[in-house]
Structure 1
C-alpha cells in the first residue's frame, strides 16, 4: 500500500513542478570575448515554461569554443544571444577605464556588478572650496577588472552611457571611488 501511495505522490509532485529540462548556465564569471570551455559551464534544471531561449545541456558541445559577446556573472543563463562577436559597447554606450588604488573600490569586484562612480574632492580641498562637479557621480556596470595586489593600480573597465563616459574620462586621476549599488549584477 505504501509503494503505490508514494508513486501517486511522486506523480502529483512531478505534475505540480511541471516538465523540467537541464540547461546550461555559467559556472563562473566570464569577460567579453572569453572562449567557452567545459569548466565554464554547469547545468541546472529549469521548468519548460521558464527556459527563455536557453540551451539544453545536451547541446553543450555546440557552445564550447565559442566566444561570449558580453561579460556575464556566474549563474547567467547561456543563450544563443550571448554567444558570438563582442557586442560591447552597445550603441549609445561607452566603456571607460579607471585606475584605482586599494580602498577606492570594494574587494571582490567582478564583471556584471553595478556601481556608482563617485568623484571625490582633491587632497587639501576644504568642503567650501570643492566645486559642484566634485560631488558628481555616474552609474556604470563593470565589464572587466585587471591588475591586482602586486600592481599599484587596478584597472576597472566600466560600461555607461556615451555622454557619461566622456565626462568620466575627463575626471582627475586618483579622485574616483566605486560603490557597489542595488542591482548588483546584470
Structure 2
C-alpha cells in the first residue's frame, strides 16, 4: 500500500511497519477469545456444581401436612456433607407431616418431615401468653427469637429471673385467641432456660425476632 507524502508524492510504507501496526490488534483479539473461552468454562463448571433443591416458601409449624405451595425450588452449590431434598424428589416429602417448625428460606431435609421431632434433644417447649406490642407481627413458626424479661422481679422473689435476662428460642407454634388480644406462642429453648422462663409472671416477657440463624 502507498500513501501520499508531505509534498503529494506517493510513498511506500515498508511491510515491516504494517506488521507492527497490526500486531497489537491481533493480541487484543486473541485475549478476547481466551477470555470468552475461560468464561464459558467457568460458567459450565459452576453450573455442573449446582443442584436444584427444595426450600421452605412460608412459615411451617410442626404437624403441618406439607403441600406444594409450602416449598419452592432453589439452586445452590451443595457440599457432600449437606443433606437436602432434591427438587425431583418432591413427591417423597409432599403430603407428609412436618417433624419440626421451619421459617421461610430454610432448606428442607429428609428429617424435616415425619414424626414430631420437637422438642429437640436437651431442649424443652414452654408457652407464653403475649399481648400486642410484646412480639413482632412477623413472628411465625420457625422464627428464631430472643426472649427478654422486661419487668423487674418483685422484692423477695430472688428465684425469679432478673429484668434484662435473655434466652435464645425458636417459635414452634402460635395461636391468636379470638376472644381477646392475647397470643399464645410456643417456644423451644434449652431445658434450663425453659424452666426459668416458665417462672416469669405473665406480662413480663417480650420477644425480639432475629435474622436467619442469628443467635
Task: Name the one with the larger strand percent.
Answer: 1
Write the distance in 2 (CA, Å) between the matches of 1:12 and 1:138: 45
Q: How does 1:79-118 map to 2 (within 5 A)?
A: 79-118=109-148
- 3-state secondary structure, aligned to 1:140: strand
Relative to structure 1, is the Cα distance of residues 61 and 165 closer, same or farther in structure 2, using a 3 angstrom cutoff? same
Which portions of structure 1, spanning 4 or more consecutive aligned residues, are displaced by more than 6 angstroms? none
Contact 1:115 1:184 in 2 (8 A): no
Relative to structure 1, is the Cα distance of residues 49 and 119 closer, same or farther in structure 2, using a 3 angstrom cutoff? closer
The farther-off stretch of 140-149 and 21-30 is: 140-149
Relative to structure 1, is the Cα distance of residues 160 and 56 closer, same or farther in structure 2, using a 3 angstrom cutoff? same
Relative to structure 1, is the Cα distance of residues 12 and 104 closer, same or farther in structure 2, using a 3 angstrom cutoff? closer
The Cα offsets for residues 93-118 of structure 1, whole Å up to 9 and x where unpaired, read as 11000000001112211222232222
**2:150 corresponds to 1:120:** yes
Relative to structure 1, is the Cα distance of residues 154 and 130 closer, same or farther in structure 2, using a 3 angstrom cutoff? farther
TM-score by length of 2: 0.70
TM-score by length of 1: 0.80
Count of residue pairs brought into register by the alignment: 179
- CA-atom RMSD in angstroms: 3.0
The Cα offsets for residues 142-171 of structure 1, whole Å up to 9 and x where unpaired, read as 112220687420111110122221221121
Q: Which of 86, 106, 123 matches 1:76?
A: 106
Write the distance in 2 (CA, Å) between the matches of 1:174 and 1:158: 16
**RCO higher in 1 or 2 (8 Å CA, sep ≥ 6)?**
1
- 3-state secondary structure, aligned to 2:148: strand
